Amino acid sequence: MDDTDIIREFLIESTENLARLDHEIVKLEQTPKDAQLLDGIFRTIHTIKGTGGMLCFSAVEGIAHVAETLLSQLRSGERQFTSELASLILTSVDAIKAELTSIEATGKETGDSHEGLRARLKLAAESSKDPASPPPRIDNEKPRARVQAAEPRPTAQTASLEDSTIRVDVVLLDRLMNLVGELVLARNQILQFNTNSEGSALHASSQHLDLITTELQEGVMKTRMQPIGVVWNKLPRVVRDLAASSGKSIRLVMDGNDTELDKTIIEAIRDPLTHMVRNCCDHGIETPAVRARAGKPEQGTISLRAYHEGGQVNIEISDDGAGIDAQRLKEKAKQKGVLRTDYADHMSDREMLDLIFLPGFSTAEKVTNISGRGVGMDVVKTNIEKIGGTVDLTSRPGEGTLFKIKIPLTLAIIPGLVVMSGGERFVIPQVSLLELIGLEGDSGRKQIESVDGTPVYRRRGKLLPLVYLNRVLRLSDTTEQPDSVSIVVLQAEHRQFGLVVDGISDTQEIVVKPLGKQLKGLSCYAGACIMGDGKVALILDVLGMAQRANVIHEAGAHHRAAKAQESVAAGAQRQPFLLFAGPDESRMAVPLSRVARLEELRASQIENAGAQWVAQYRGQILPLINLETALDERRRQRRHLRTDVTDPSSSGLFLVVVCNHEGHQVGLVVEKILDIVEDLAEPKYPASRTGVQCSAVISGKVTELLDIPAVLRVAKVRFSGPNTPAAAPVEVTH
């Protein structure tokens, strides 16, 4: 090994060790009594001093030397670990890092003598020691002996590490990955021949090849995996520094440090993650004073979580800070002219929050040099999407914000579904695939409806917008109407849509190859691959497709949903409801504003006028509706047989809710009045039967909202006589 190799080794090792130091020093600040932690930090600095000196890097050696003195004082208990000390050691680490960078780039140190830093370090080392510390030992050998005794331990420990791990150049691993990719291609080709020769020796051998290739593929991919802790390690320091400089108190909680990701993904998310944590510190967590006023603990918490789920890595960054005000974002966007007013009025909360990802967007009142310059979040989103991931954001003003990042585990070799459209073959990544729907013949075609000009398919009660692949890609339309329609249900971010294709083939493992820069701008493709027959096929980018075809429809769908909501009892406002028990003890309600009066009628007051019950009421004929018959189909059919007025309530009286309807009054016969409550009554489920508007949650329980006009239609109620003036609504007194 010549000089350059030794220096390179030194640089690699030291950079790795220093990266850990950031995290460890912050941890030590929180748990200063942790002797093992302190030992580890000391050893790292000691090693850097030693090797640095041997290689004649005097600046590195010098700084490390004084830092080491301080650390050994800490170890022997002569000095207490204070925040000032922590900051000083962190500054030394930074200085050493700067020198290492210079050595890597130019082979020499910066030439900076680091006078100021060294002086401060010296001062700290010589300053009066903590009075509570043990008196200086008479026998000077002891402290040094303690330090030397520590030496054998590191080698013993690192020796065992050396035995079980080996350092490999990333370039070599990339080559191995490529070779495995080629092997997968070759295996696919052989498997193609395989289908024609069942039972032969070739078949058996190719099956064997298949197994080995799969295992090899998995193994090589594992070699490139690194724990996410590698990126997270420096974040405690970032948070500490930001908190200190802004006068806030913030703690960082990390869960899932050893969640493993491919190295390329780690590199790609390093900056976005840092930026988001910075944002939490800068914009999310409030000052202790503001937090105290809001009844929150003075110390804010930022939580990082990483875990594997469903073939993807999930990374969550959340804070318990001020949250993001969606309305304010919307206003800012309108101000900047980025948003059309009519579009803005129909936006969901989620869409408003997504505005934060627009380029050049920042609602920060004050641009600091940390963040808020408005160049951050859009770059974050682009970088994450570049590696095939998604980023999602939820927030509650006053409570906090949560960023959720999902990244596919493997980049290069993925399972894909082969589809046909316009005579061409395309591949869809299986990870985005939810379901396959085949519609046959005429009846199948009829199931495709059109809402607002968009083709949709009703999938389990929900409308699924459809995208015709041949139209998006402007392929030649198949001349005759195909007999069957194939819909591939896909998920992109939180949107689901159906991709209509001409035909569906099989699922294959494909090697994703990136497209050249001439084609990279086409958002609907994620790459290309070579199929088993040697031909090239394009891989569709599900998110890109969705964006190309669907973005406008999101607002449209919400517009429709909003309209539907409005027609249900004053939408999102609280109003009083009359709760009663309908047939079969079902919990039902009508808006109190529709109720004129509650009455108890004796059976003798009720008469039969033709097929309808009526009562003489305040000089008018009041049609009565027995909800049992109005809402229950089966019983309705037997109604014409009923001649007697039967089924009185247990007290011999009929409970009637007299309602106003278009200038007339009608009485609803109910089993029991339950309560009068005020509630939002947001519709939760669509109506399950005629006569019911929808089901909503009122007072914590699912309640059916009665649809009075529908009930009247079903009961075929006829009103006679002039309109009775609607009685004043019942006044609710509390």
Partner 1 sequence: MAETRQFCTFYLDELLFGVDLRSVQEVIRVQHLMRVPLAPKAVTGLINLRGQIVTAMDLRQRLKLKAQDAAALPANVVVRSGDGPISLSVDRIGDVVEAEENNFEYPPETVPVSLRKVIVGVYKLDRQLMHVLDIDRACQIGDVAEAGMDAQ
Q: Which residues bind partner 1 (CB under 8 A)?
A: 182, 185, 422, 424, 473-475, 513, 515-519, 521-522, 524-525, 528-530, 534-538
Structure tokens at 107: 């082979």
Q: Which is nearer to partner 1, 84 or 533 (CB)?
A: 533
Q: Which is nearer to partner 1, 488 or 528 (CB)?
A: 528
410: alpha, beta or left? (left if phi > 0; alpha if psi -120 to 50): beta
Burial zone of 180 (CB within 10 Å; 0-12 exposed, 13-18 middle, 19+ buried): buried
Would you call 534 helix, strand, or coil by DSSP?
A: coil
Closest distance between partner 1 and the C-beta of residue 473, in Å?
4
Closest distance between partner 1 and the C-beta of residue 383, in Å?
19
Count, residues in the chain: 734
Mapped to the 3 state alphabet, what secondary structure does 42-78 carry?
HHHHHHHHHHHHHCCCHHHHHHHHHHHHHHHHHHCCC
Q: Which is nearer to partner 1, 517 or 640 (CB)?
A: 517
Closest distance between partner 1 and the C-beta of residue 339, in Å?
23
Q: Which is nearer to partner 1, 525 or 719 (CB)?
A: 525
Q: What angle do CA 652, 656, 661 make, to 5 degrees?
A: 160
Closest distance between partner 1 and the C-beta of residue 188, in Å?
11
Contact between residue 47 and residue 150 where contact means Cβ atoms under 8 Å apart: no
Closest distance between partner 1 and the C-beta of residue 520, in Å?
10
Whole-number Cα distances in Å, 370 to 240, 279, 729: 13, 8, 59
Which residues neighbour 28 within 8 Å (Cβ) at sequence distance 6 or greater?
A: 34, 37, 38, 41, 81, 86
Q: Which is nearer to partner 1, 355 or 545 (CB)?
A: 545
Whole-number Cα distances in Å, 58 to 46, 51, 102, 293, 454: 14, 11, 13, 52, 71
Would you call 578 helix, strand, or coil by DSSP?
A: strand
What is the distance between the alpha carbons of residues 582 and 673, in angstroms, rounded to a whole number?
Answer: 9
Closest distance between partner 1 and the C-beta of residue 386, in Å?
16
Q: Which is nearer to partner 1, 217 or 301 (CB)?
A: 217
Q: Which is nearer to partner 1, 96 or 185 (CB)?
A: 185
Q: Which is nearer to partner 1, 11 or 515 (CB)?
A: 515
Contact between residue 591 and residue 731 where contact means Cβ atoms under 8 Å apart: no
Closest distance between partner 1 and the C-beta of residue 528, in Å?
5
What is the distance between the alpha carbons of residues 493 and 546, in angstroms, rounded to a whole number?
Answer: 9
End-to-end CA distance of the chain: 90
Closest distance between partner 1 and the C-beta of residue 522, in Å?
6
Q: Which is nearer to partner 1, 183 or 202 (CB)?
A: 183
Closest distance between partner 1 and the C-beta of residue 475, in Å?
6
